[in-house]
Chains A and B, each alone.
Chain A
C-alpha cells in the first residue's frame, strides 16, 4: 500500500469536496452491478516479501545459461551488453508514454529515428517503423499492407503466397490477421532439396504478395530467394522475413528486390525473456509508406528553426482513422526497440559482422559434429544454415529430448510439435554463446540415446 500517497488523508480531501465517504464517489454505480464482497485474493505484501516470492518461484525455472542449450526456434539465447539495460531503464525512457507531445519527448523520438536509420541500413530499404509486437505480427501486417498496395492491380485478387516452411505459430498469426480482409493464403512449395521451387514460384506472379523467410523454419538459407523478385514481377510484393543477426554476413533483402522486410528484433536488445516483450522489425519501400502499420518518427524543425523530431503520418493510425486505419496497433514495443538501438549502436558495422560470424561458426561446428554421429541424418544437406539446422533421428525427437534432458542438455526442439509428419526431426539452434564444450555435451548425449535406441 506504499503506492498511495494520500492514504490516511481521504477524509480531508472528501470534506473539501463536500462528500462524507469514499462510497459517495461510487454512488453512480447501480446497486445491481455493484460488488460488495471482498476480492478473494491474498493479503497485501511488502516489496521485500514480493521479491522473495518472485525469487522462489522464478528460481525453480531452469535458465538457458545454466546448461548446454540448443533451443532457439527464432528466439536467440543472446548476450546483451550491460549498458543497454542500465540506460534503457532510466526513468525518463521507462516511464514515458507514446511521444504525443514532441516538445518534451525529443529524447525518445530521436532515439527511434536513429533506430529507423539502423534498421533501414540493416535491411537496405528506406523506411522503418518503430516496431511491431514480434516477427509474426510484422509478417502478418506486412501481408495486409502489401494487399492494400498491390490489391487493386493484382491479377490474382487477394491472393498471397506463403512459403511452406514458415513456422506454424507464425502461420497461425498470419491466418488470424488476414482472414477478415478477404485474403486467400496459398502455399509456396519447396522442392525435395528443401529449396523454394523456383519453377513452381511462377504461379505467384500476379498475386498480391509472396512471403518467404531467409533463413526458413529449419535455419536453411535459400539461394533461390535472390531470384524470386524477378520471377514474381513488380506487381507482386516480395516480403522477406529475416534473422536480423544473419544480415551481418547474408545479403540484405532490399538489395535483391524485397519490398518489405520483417523479422524478430529480439537478438538485439533483450534476452529471450520467456517470449516477450520482444519486438518485430518492419521496413519497406516508399511505395508502401502510406499503408504501413505502426508509429513513424520524422525529422522537422521547431518554431525557432532548430532540428526537432515528431511522430508523423499519423493519419494512417487508429486514433485518427478509426475503422479505416491501416492497423489497430497503438502500444508497440518502443522500449525494447530502444534497447535494440543501443545494442546495434554498440556493435557497429564490424561488430555486427563479427556477431554474425560467431553464430555462423557455431552453427557450422555443431552441424558437422552432429551429422557425423552414426544414424543421424542431416536434413537438406545441400543447403547452408544459419543459427539452426535440423536432423532426422532414428526415433522420436521427443524421446531424444527427454533422454538428453535427464543428462542436463537442452537438446533443441521437436519439429513434430509443428508438423506431425516430422516427429523424428530435431531442430538444433546455436548462437554466439555456444561453446565447443556445449557441442561436445550435445554430441555425447545424443550419441548415448542413439546407442540405446539402435540397440
Chain B
C-alpha cells in the first residue's frame, strides 16, 4: 500500500513558493493566537505525490474504466472539451461578486442555461444556485413553504412522498420542518391514486414525485395525481433525477408540476467526481418565481450591442420575495458551464439523448430477460411494463431462493467481470433489487456483452458468486468492522 505519510524524503515543502513580502509576518498575529504546533501533513516531493495519486487512481473505477450501469445515477460519458472549457481564465479566475460588466460572458451563459432548462421542463423561471439535487429539493420546498405562508396557507405542514422515492426527498422535506407522509405504491409499482386521495388534505403542502419513477416506469396517471394534490391546495414537486428519460418527449410542466429540480451531474454530464460536485438548479411556475433563491441571471436590451455583442446587458436580479441563499454564491458555476457545453452538442435535438437512453435500457432489459428464459432462477421484473424508460429493476429473489445467491453477490461478481455494479437494494419495494441504467453513451456491443456476462453469472457455481469479488484490488470489504471499530484518520504513529 502506498502510504502518503511514508514519504519523508523531501526537505520541508514538496512544492516551492516565493517568500512572503517581508520577513517576520508572524508578528502580525498576537502571541495568544499564534499556532503552537504545525499540523502533521505529509512531507512529500512532487514526484512522490504524482506517483501516489496515480497509484490511487488505478485503484478506482470510473465510467472511463468501464460500463457503469448504476441505476438512478445516469453515469454517461463526460465529454472532455468541457474540462478544457472550465479551465479558461474567464471562469476559473472569476470572483462571483465582480461587477456585472466584468462578467457579462458568464451571465450570458447562466441566462442561456436558465432558458434552456425552463424550455426543457416547461417551467417559467429557473435558478442555478442549488449545488446538488438534494439542495435543489430543499430550496424548492422552501419556496413552496414561503409561498404558502404568504398566501395564508402556512398551516400546511405535511409533504407526501411515495415509498419508492429517493431518500433525499423525505430528508429534504424534513429539513424544512415538514412531517413526511409516505404512501405505498400500487402492486404494479406505480402511484396508487386511492392511497394518494386518502393522504391529501388541507394540511398537504406538497407531493414529491419522480417520473419515470425509481423502477424506471412512467407514471401514466401523473396528471390525475397532480389534480388530486392541487384540488387539496398542495403543490407538486418533480424530482428531476430521472429527467434523462423524457427530455423532449414530455415535461414536468405538462404533467402538472409546480416546481422541479434538475441534476446537471446526471442529465447534463457534469462529472460525478467520486461523489460530487453536482449541480441542482430548480425551476418553478410563475406563482413561485418570486420566492426563488437570490440571485437569478436576467437581461435587458441595450444600445450598441452590449459587451457580449448580442444586444443585451446581463445582470443579477433578486426575486422580490426571495428565500435568500442556499449556497453562498451563485451555485456551481463550473458545473453550469460544463452542462452548457454538453447541451450545445445536442441543441434542439436533445430528445435524441433521451431516445437513446431509453433505447439502450429497453434493449438491455430485453437481452437479459430473453436470455434468462429457461435459465434456472430467472430474475423477476421489478415492475410489469411493456416498455421501461431509462432504467429497469430486476429482483434476484428466485436466484436467492434457488441457490442462495443474493443480489449483492451478483453485484460483487459483476466487479470481477470489469463492470461497476448496478444500484443495489433500491428501490426498497423490490426485494433483492438490482437497478440498471445503461445511459445513451454505451454501444450495442457493450450491452450485448454485459447481458451475456450477467447471464453467465446466474448459472455460475454459487460458491464462486457468493465469495466474489475475486479479481479486484481488495476482496469483499468488512463494512461491519469499519463501523464497529472506527478508524477515521491516519494514526500517524504507526
Closest approach, in angstroms, between the C-beta of A334 and any C-beta of chain B?
Answer: 3
A54 and B337 contact, CB distance less than 8 A: yes
Task: Note all chain A residues with C-beta closer than 8 A to B57.
Answer: 87, 90, 92-93, 107
Q: Does A454 contact B (CB under 8 A)?
A: no
What's the minimum C-beta distance from A397 to chain B, rounded to whole angstroms?
Answer: 13
Across-interface contacts of A56 in B (CB, < 8 A): 105
Of A59, A98, A107, the residue contacting B59 (CB under 8 A) is: A107
| A275 neighbours in B (Cβ, 8 Å) | 95-96, 327-331, 333
Q: Residues of B contacting A46 with CB < 8 Å? A: 345
- When A62-B103, A352-B39, A361-B22 are in contact, do A384 and B29 touch as well, CB less than 8 Å? yes
Q: How far is the CA of A36 from the CA of B130 in the complex (A)?
A: 30
Residue contact A54 to B341, C-beta cutoff 8 Å: yes
Contact of A89 with B by CB under 8 A: yes
- Chain B contributes a number of interface residues (CB within 8 A of A) equal to 201
- Tell me whether B238 is interfacial, beta carbon within 8 Å: no
A222's nearest neighbour on chain B, judged by CB, is B33
Q: Which of A32, A44, A87 lies in contact with B349, CB distance below 8 A?
A: A44
Pick the interface stretch among A75-83, A202-210, A445-453: A75-83
Are A333 and B277 interface neighbours, CB within 8 A? yes
- Whether B277 pairs with A223 at a CB distance below 8 angstroms is no
Q: Which residues of B contact A228 (CB under 8 A)?
A: none
Interface of B is mostly: loop
Q: Is B307 an interface residue, CB under 8 A from the partner?
A: yes
> Of the 9-residue stretches B77-85, B191-199, B374-382, B455-463, which lies at the interface with chain A?
B77-85
| B152 CB-CB contact with A under 8 Å | no
Distance in angstroms between the alpha carbons of A27 and B13 in the assembled complex: 63
A322 to B344, CA, bound (A): 36
Q: Assuming the A-B contacts A275-B96, A354-B20, are A247 and B175 also in contact, with contact meaning beta carbons closer than 8 angstroms in the complex? A: no
Q: B70 — which chain A residues lie within 8 A by C-beta?
A: 97, 100
Contact between A302 and B119 (Cβ–Cβ < 8 Å)? no
CB-based contact A29/B60 at 8 Å: no
B359 / chain A contacts, CB cutoff of 8 Å: 6, 10, 13-14, 22, 25
Q: Is B299 an interface residue (CB 8 A)?
A: no
Interface mask (B19-51 → A, CB under 8 Å = 1, otherwise 0): 111100110111011111011111110100110
Query: Quick check: A4 and B441 within 8 Å, CB to CB?
Result: yes
The reply to whether A40 and B18 form a contact with Cβ atoms under 8 Å apart is no
Residue of B12, B65, B83, B479 near A92 (CB, 8 A) is B65
Q: Are A58 and B105 in contact, CB atoms less than 8 angstroms apart?
A: yes
For the complex, give the distance between the alpha carbons of A308 and B220 in Å. 46
B311 at the interface (CB under 8 A from A): no
Residue B228 interfacial (CB < 8 Å)? no
Known interface pairs A28-B220, A328-B171, A354-B17; A249-B59 also in contact (CB < 8 Å): no
Asked if B276 and A277 sit within 8 Å, CB to CB, the answer is yes
Chain B CB within 10 A, most for which of A35, A133, A249, A310: A133
Find chain A residues with CB under 8 A from B442 CB. 5
CB pair A331–B490 under 8 Å, yes or no, is no
Contact status A1-B387, CB under 8 Å: no
Q: Mark B86-106, 1 if CB is under 8 A from A, else 0.
A: 111111111111110011111
Indicate if A157 sits at the interface (CB-CB under 8 A): no
Interchain CB contact (< 8 A) of B488 among A26, A28, A298, A306:
A298
- When distances are taken between beta carbons in the complex, the residues of chain A under 8 Å from B469 are 103-104
1/0 per position for B120-136, CB-CB distance to A under 8 A? 10000000000111110
Stretch at the interface among A113-121, A229-237, A370-378: A113-121
Contact A346 B53 (CB under 8 A): no
B46 touches which of A96, A301, A319, A346 (Cβ 8 Å): A346
Residue of A104, A114, A385 touching B61 (CB-CB under 8 A): A104
User: What is the bound-complex CA distance between A275 and B254, given in angstroms?
Assistant: 34
Known: A96-B60, A360-B20. A133 touches B132 (CB 8 A): yes
B412 within 8 A of A: yes
Contact status B53-A87, CB under 8 Å: yes
Instruction: Provide the residues of chain A in CB contact with B254, threshold 8 Å.
Output: 32-35
Query: A47 on the interface (CB 8 Å rule)?
Result: yes
* Segment of B282-290, B397-405, B419-427 in the binding face: B419-427
Contact A5 B276 (CB under 8 A): no
B478 adjacent to A308 (CB under 8 Å): yes
Contact A101 to B56, CB < 8 A, known contacts A5-B443, A271-B92: no
Knowing A45-B347, A173-B326, A298-B488, say if A276 contacts B32 (CB, 8 Å): no
Residue A99 interfacial (CB < 8 Å)? yes
| Chain B neighbourhood of A361, CB < 8 A | 20-22, 25, 28
Q: How far is the CB of B191 from chain A (nearest CB, A)?
A: 13
Measured between beta carbons, the chain B residues less than 8 angstroms from A130 are 275
Among B174, B275, B330, B469: residue with most chain A CB under 10 A: B275
Contacts of B248 in A (CB 8 A): 35, 39
**In the complex, what distance in Å separates the CA atom of A335 from the CA atom of B142?**
28
A142 at interface by CB-CB < 8 Å: no
The answer to whether B85 and A121 have CB atoms under 8 Å apart is: no
Find residues 138-174 in chain A having any chain B CB closer than 8 Å to their own CB: 144, 167, 169-170, 172-173
Which B residues are in CB contact (< 8 Å) with A49?
344
- In whole angstroms, how far apart are the Cα atoms of A32 and B222 in the complex? 11
With beta carbons under 8 angstroms apart, the residue of A60, A113, A271, A338 that contacts B274 is A338
Taking a contact as CB atoms under 8 Å apart, the answer to whether A330 and B220 are in contact is no
Complex partner residue of A33 from B250, B474, B475, CB under 8 angstroms = B250
B207 part of interface (Cβ distance < 8 Å): no
Say whether A329 faces chain B, with CB atoms less than 8 Å apart.
yes
Q: A residues within 8 A CB of B444?
A: 5-6, 9, 12-13
Decide if A51 touches B84 in the complex (CB within 8 Å): yes
B276 partner, pick from A2, A29, A312, A334, beta carbons under 8 A: A334
Find out whether the CB atom of B119 lies under 8 angstroms from the CB atom of A41. Answer: yes
With A101-B415, A180-B175, A323-B171: A308-B477 Cβ-Cβ less than 8 Å: yes
State the Cβ distance, A97 to closest chain B Cβ, in Å.
5
Q: Which of B51-81 contact A (CB under 8 A)?
A: 53-65, 68, 70, 73, 75-79, 81
Any B CB within 8 A of the CB of A358? yes
Asked if A332 is at the interface (CB within 8 A of a chain B CB), the reply is yes
Take A54-B88, A273-B334, A342-B49 as given contacts and tell me if A106 and B177 are in contact as well, using a CB distance cutoff of 8 Å: no
A323 contacts B308, C-beta separation under 8 Å: no
**B265–A331 CB distance below 8 A:** yes
Chain A hits for B102, CB < 8 A = 61-62, 405, 410
Q: Determine whether B223 belongs to the interface, using a CB cutoff of 8 Å to chain A.
A: yes
Name the distance in Å between A270's Cβ and chain B's nearest Cβ: 8
A297 and B17 contact, CB distance less than 8 A: no
Q: Mark A418-450, 1 if CB is under 8 A from B, else 0.
A: 000000000000001010100000000000000
Cα of A179 to Cα of B72 in the assembled complex, Å: 30
B148 in the interface, Cβ–Cβ < 8 Å?
no
The 8 Å CB contact of A58, one of B58, B68, B85, is: B85
Determine if B488 and A296 form an interchain contact, defined as CB atoms under 8 angstroms apart. yes
Give the chain B neighbours of A353 by CB distance below 8 A. 38
| Contact A180:B177 (CB < 8 A) given known A328-B172, A365-B22, A384-B33 | yes
Q: Is B347 a contact of A357 with CB atoms below 8 Å? A: no
Out of B176, B277, B476, name the residue touching A331 (CB < 8 Å). Answer: B277
Is the Cβ of B28 less than 8 Å from the Cβ of A364? yes
Q: Does B173 contact A (CB under 8 A)?
A: yes
> A363 to B38, Cβ gap below 8 A?
no
A414 to B254, CA, bound (A): 44
In the complex, A361→B327 CA distance in Å?
31
**Which residues on the A side are within 8 Å of B333 (C-beta)?**
273-276
One of A45, A60, A271 near B105 (C-beta < 8 A):
A60
Nearest 3 A-B pairs (CB), nearest first? A275-B329, A335-B273, A180-B177
Beyond the given A248-B38, A405-B102, please list 11 additional residue pairs across the A-B interface where CB-CB is below 8 A. Answer: A44-B349, A95-B64, A169-B329, A247-B39, A250-B33, A251-B35, A303-B476, A325-B174, A331-B265, A351-B17, A384-B33
List 11 interface pairs A-B (beta carbons < 8 Å), by A numbering.
Answer: A34-B249, A44-B348, A71-B97, A97-B420, A105-B61, A134-B131, A180-B145, A180-B174, A271-B92, A300-B485, A319-B426
